[in-house]
Chains A and B, each alone.
Chain A
């Protein structure tokens, strides 16, 4: 008897809760209506504002009231049993029309897959941690302990310091102009224009160079909405090649303790491309090989070589 009674009460509470939810929804939509309509219908601006705010407050109050009501009712409804391993979604298995909506079996499948994925990801991360990527060859010799110590300090350099280093480099090379911008937070992006030869987009993280893209002087480096386009590559094969070499150079010039030196030496190396179309290969003496000029610049001597002519 008591059981039956409690079920009855429960059902009633459910019905009330549903209507409370409806009330809540309508009052919320009234809030949005009010916001959508904005201020109007009054002579003066002040009057409009007042009326709008009052109206808005009323609406919010009613939302609050409805929400409280709903919370009260939800306590009456009682909690659904939580002992099912899939919690509420386990109730899906109660759906009698399995054939039409095989949600439950799909859910189980997905759960299995996600478990497997997590397991494999764990394994992979373990393996990868053993083979951690080093940014350059001579980094190998440095003890593994020092690096983590060095990195945090170089990653939290103040933006002014970065600005300073960049502007000093900018002044160093007259034929190279560097434009610094920070479109997203503190990370700087550089647009380096080298003579009338090429443009380089450099993405920095603090004073570390993360990514570079080399494009032609006459190519567009901006996306349609006016931001620097750091993803699309050059239309010319020459500059695609130079982009590859520049990325190699990023990995080569690495000195975590003195990041400003790294940037400076990278820029010095980059500057040697001013004679991209004018310097013949130091090895074969020719300009062209497979239709490309000497795109490689030696890291130390800055001499020009074809990709295949370098040692």
Chain B
């Protein structure tokens, strides 16, 4: 008798420790899933699964061990039910079960499902057995098909509403602006309101090409340059002065140029 008791105790201990291990790894796995889902890699998930299944296997082995007595034969009887808080129980169950009362005892000490549930389960099993394998396969396929159709429809809708929303709500670019900017970096179109009128030519419609225009206007350009031979120099020093942090003073020669530029009949108006 004593020997059996000892055996029972030993196997219970083993069982408890296995269960605790299992619980721990489950806990850490759940923790991982909840808190590190954003950088959890599939291999590490697989690792966790492998660990769990290994521990389950050991648990099974312990249960099936020949020295393990049949727990089925043991009977647990609740001796005292109390509606008061039981600190010991609280500690042992890690805060899950605060009271040992009539409300929780049936759930915790249960060894079988509810009779109603048992009945339903039996019903389902017989139903499933009655359907042939082919029919079952067909039904599965149908369901899969419907699901994927639905999924496609939803995602399509989503995409369309998104891009449509963008298009209708907000214009993010303006093709006319693109053209204006490209022309500005390419030929300085629109940049040269102070410049002598010579190169505003390219803005004129109906002109054959830049080369001829520039060649044609170069005469005018040259007259101005010849008229104020020193003009280039002060202009440059203006640039350099600006670099040094002082506002460049404009030589008067250029001022008159601006005037003449703005009064030029062909001055391009900004579009």
Contact = CB atoms under 8 A, between A and B. Distances in A.
Contacts of A40: 38
B35 interface: yes
Contacts of A153: none
Interface residues of B, number: 2
Interface string A31-42: 000000000110
Contacts of A41: 35, 38
A211 B38 CA distance: 57
A41 B40 CA distance: 14
A232 to B, nearest CB: 33
Contacts of B35: 41
Q: What DSSP secondary structure best describes chain A's contact surface?
A: loop
Interface residues of A, number: 2
Nearest to B35: A41
A201 B38 CA distance: 54
Interface string B62-89: 0000000000000000000000000000
A41 B35 CA distance: 8
A43 to B, nearest CB: 14
Interface string B10-47: 00000000000000000000000001001000000000
Contacts of B38: 40-41
Nearest to A51: B35
A34 to B, nearest CB: 10
B91 to A, nearest CB: 15
Interface in A18-49: 40-41
B64 to A, nearest CB: 31
Nearest to B37: A41
Interface string A267-304: 00000000000000000000000000000000000000
Nearest to A55: B35
A40 B38 CA distance: 10
B60 to A, nearest CB: 28
A41 B31 CA distance: 13
B37 to A, nearest CB: 9
B26 to A, nearest CB: 18
A41 B38 CA distance: 9
3 contacts: A40-B38, A41-B35, A41-B38
Interface of B: 35, 38
3 A-B pairs closest in CB distance: A41-B35, A41-B38, A40-B38
